[in-house]
Every structure is written in structure tokens, then in C-alpha cells.
Structure 1
Amino acid sequence: MIRLENLTKSYKTKNERKTLFKNVNAIFPEGKNIGILGRNGVGKSTLLRIMGGIDYPDSGRVITDKRISWPVGLSGGFQGSMTGRENVAFVCGIHGVWGKDKCKIMNYVQEFSEIGNYFDLPIKSYSSGMRARLAFGLSIALEFDVYLVDEVMSVGDVHFKKKCEDIIKEKRKKASFIIVAHTTQVLKKNCEVGIYIENGKVRICQSINEAISIYQNSV
């Protein structure tokens, strides 16, 4: 179960304070893969960050009994002066992964990222593509009930996008996904239900096609 209870979120711009959500209440369909749509700037990525615990609402809360990932592919949380290996080890420690399980994750991330010797070099020396590969590999290597995915399948080359899609397909056998993507084909392929965000309101749709139709009629 994932429930938003009186969720309010705003941020300060140069001249004013912009409110993304105000006293939002919503219950996400359980056990379903969900696509989130809305125009740029309505708060799609912000909502994922709040659900993933890396951003906080002004008031209200997210109530859940699920293990929810941080947004898959997020590379902003890496420590630039640490190597890729050290960053992966640090995240494993945060999530209580040690011993053989930690070694398996380290090997998996190194193999998936395909960055060669850069795995043992500081993150600050990586290209944006290398960061994305490492971030996705680390996110998906850990086990969660719900994975949050924010536009990660829109970056990288064809080979990388295919790897992302294949892994998500495999993970969907045991976990569910909440995906933000502007490419409607990605949502149709991976999601059953949809959420449309507009004017600070979160609208739960019974099907992803319904949400896509509402979105396309709004742009």
C-alpha cells in the first residue's frame, strides 16, 4: 500500500513560492505497474523523490508498508571524490547488505555499468552516461517491493536502453514499478494503470491508456 496523506509541497522561485501539491490525498493501486504523466513542471519527479525518501513534503506524509527504492538511475547522490566501487559499497552498507551479498552486488554493478577501470576511479571523472549506467545498475541490484523510475530509459544508447527494458521486465515478475516517462510507448509497454498530475492534483486512472488520453488532450 502507498498512500499520500494531506501532502503539500512547494518551493521558492526567484519572485515567489510555487506550490506543486496542496493537501493531496491519494491511494495508489496495489500490485500494479503505474505510469505518471503530466506537463513539465507539475511535480512528477518531485513526487517520486518524496516517495523515495530523498525529498520531503512541507506537510503531510507518504504512508506505506512497502520497500520503495530511490528513483532508479538517480546519480546526483554519488560522492564525487569516492570511486564507483566505494560509492556502491557505501550504499550497500546503508541498506544492510554485507558479506557475500555485498560482493554479488559489487560484481553485478561493475559488469552492468560497462565502465571498465573507471569503476575504481573517482565519480567526478565520469561522463554523464557513465554515471547513468552506474546509477541504474546500483538501483536495480538492490531488492525492493516498488521501484521508482524517472526517465532513465530516455538516456543512453540503444544498447543501454535495451538493457534497462530487459531488467525491468525481469524485475516485474516479483516487484512493481512507478514510472515517469514522456514517451507514451514506454508507459504502454510497462504499465497497467496511470496517474495524471495537473494543477496540484493527483488523478488516479483505471488504465494507462486513459491517463495517456487525458495527457495528450492537455498538451
Structure 2
Amino acid sequence: MIKLENLTKSYRTPHGRKVLFQNVNAIFPEGKNIGILGRNGAGKSTLLRIMGGIDYPDSGRVVTDQRISWPMGLSGGFQSSMTGRENVAFVCGIHGIWGRAQRRVMDRVQDFAEIGNYFDVPVKSYSSGMRSRLAFGLSIAVDFDLYLVDEVMSVGDAHFKRKCEEIIAEKRKISSFIIVAHAMPLLRKNCDVGIYLESGGLTIFDTVDEAIELYKGEQPKPQSRSGATTPPAVNA
């Protein structure tokens, strides 16, 4: 169960305070894979960070009885002077994973990341692709009830994307996912229900297709070849 209770979140900007969520109350469907959509700046990634415990609301709270991952593929949390192995060991320690269990996680991450000897080299020497591989491998190597995925499958080469999709398909047999992505086929393939963020709140739909249709209707239409702008769609 995931429940948002009076959740409010805002940021200070040069143009004043931007409110992403204002006293939001919602209960997410249990046992479902959820796709989150919304226009740029609607707060999709922020909501995932709050649920994953790496960002905090101005007020309100997230109530859950599930073990929730940090946003999958988040590489900004690595300590750059530490090696990949040391970063993995540090995260394991935070989550109370020690001894044989930690070694299993280490082996899973090293096998998935496919960065060879760089696993024992400081992360500051990694390319962005290597950081993504390490971050995704670490996310998926630790067992959670619910995984948060934020656009991680939009980076990397075709081989890496295929590995990501395969491991998510495997994990879906025993865990649930909340996915933020702009790739509609990815959401349709992996999600049961949809959530659309707008105007400081959110709407939960019974199917991900309903949320996708609303999202597509909200997007600005491309210009025609003559340079004229197609009139925006009108939502019923």
C-alpha cells in the first residue's frame, strides 16, 4: 500500500515559488505496475524521489508498508572518489546487507554492469554510460517490494536497454514497478494503471492507456512543413 497524505511540495525559483503538489491525497492501487505521465516540470521525478526517501515534501507524508527502492538508475548519489565496489558496499551497509548477502549483491552488480576492471576504479573516472550501468545494476541487485524507475531505459546502447527490459520483466514476477517514461510503448508493455500529474495534483486511471491518451492530448502539436502551427487539441 502507498498512500499520499496531504502531500505538498514546492521549489523556489527566480520567478517565485513553483508548487508541484498541493495537499495531495491519494491511494495507489495495490499489486499493480503503474505508469506516471505528465508534462515537463509536472513533478514526476520529484514524486519518485519523495517516495524513494531521497527528497522530502514541504508538508504531508507518504505512508507505505512496502520496501521501496530508490529511483532506479540514480547515479548522482555515488561518492566519486570511491570505487564502484566501495559504493556498492556502502549502499549495502545503509540497507543492512552484510556478509554473504552483500557478496551476492556485489556479484550481481558486477555481472550486470559489465564494466570489467573499472569496478575497482574510482567512479569519477567513469563515463556517463558506465555510471548508468553501475547504478541500474545496484538498483536491481537489491530486493524490494516496489521498484521506482525514472527514464533509466532511455539511456545506453541497445544491448544495455535490452538487458534492462529483460531484468524488469523478470522482477515483475515477484515485485511491482512505478515507471516514469516518455516512451509510450514501454509504459503500455510494463504498466497496468496510469497516473497523470497536473495542476498541483494527480489523477489515477484504471488503465495506463487512459493516462496516455490524456498525456497525448495535452502535448503541443508539431508544426506543419509550411511552418503553420496545427491548432491544439481540445479535451472533452
Q: Please give the range of the TM-score, normalised by the shorter of the 2 chains.
A: over 0.9
Query: Post-superposition, which runs of at least 4 consecutive aligned residues in structure 1 deviate over 4 A?
Result: none
Residue 207 of structure 2 corresponds to residue 207 of structure 1 = yes
Quick one: distance in 2 between partners of 1:194 and 1:178? 9
**1:42 Cα deviation (Å)?**
0.3
Structure 2 counterparts to residues 1-219 of structure 1, below 5 A: 1-219=1-219
Spell out, residue by residue over 1:161-205, the C-alpha distance to the aligned partner (whole angstroms, 9 max, x if none): 000000000000000000000000000000000000011111000
Q: How far apart are the structure 2 equivalents of 1:38 and 1:60?
A: 22
Q: How far does residue 15 in structure 1 lie from its aligned partner after superposition?
A: 2.6
SS in 2 for 1:30: coil
Distance between the aligned counterparts of 1:122 and 1:104, measured in 2? 21
Tell me, in whole angstroms, the C-alpha distance in 1 between the residues paired with 2:15 and 2:117: 46
Give the aligned CA root-mean-square deviation in angstroms: 0.5
Give 1:122's aligned amino acid: P
| Aligned amino acid, residue 106 of structure 2 | M
Instruction: Tell me the amino acid that sits aligned with residue 130 of structure 1.
Output: M
* Unpaired segments ≥5 residues, structure 2: 220-236
- Partner secondary structure for residue 210 of structure 2: helix
Cα distance per residue 1:25-69 (max 9 Å; x no partner): 010000000000001000000000000000000000000000000
Question: Equivalents in 1 of 2:111, 2:190: separation in Å?
Answer: 25
Using the alignment, how far apart are the partners of 2:24 and 2:198 within structure 1?
12
Per the normalisation by structure 1, the TM-score is: 0.99
User: 2-side partners of 1:114 and 1:144: how far apart?
Assistant: 23
**Larger RCO of the pair (alpha carbons < 8 Å, separation 6+):** 1
Q: How many residues align?
A: 219
- In structure 2, distance between residues paired with 1:81 and 1:27: 41
Q: Deviation of residue 97 (structure 1)?
A: 0.8
- Rounded to whole Å, the distance in 1 between the matches of 2:58 and 2:23 is 10
Runs of 5+ unmatched residues, structure 1: none
Per-residue CA deviations over 1:94-133 (Å, capped at 9, x if unaligned) read: 1111111111111111111011111001111101100000
| Cα shift readout 1:67-90 (whole Å, capped 9, x = no counterpart) | 000000000100000000000000
CA distance in 2, matches of 1:102, 1:64: 25
Say which SS state the counterpart of residue 173 (structure 2) adopts.
coil
Taking the aligned partners of 1:17 and 1:125, their CA distance within structure 2 comes to 37
Tell me the amino acid that sits aligned with residue 33 of structure 2: N
- When normalised by structure 2's length, the TM-score is 0.92
What SS class does the counterpart of residue 36 from structure 1 fall into? Answer: strand
Cα distance between partner residues in 2 of 1:211 and 1:14: 32
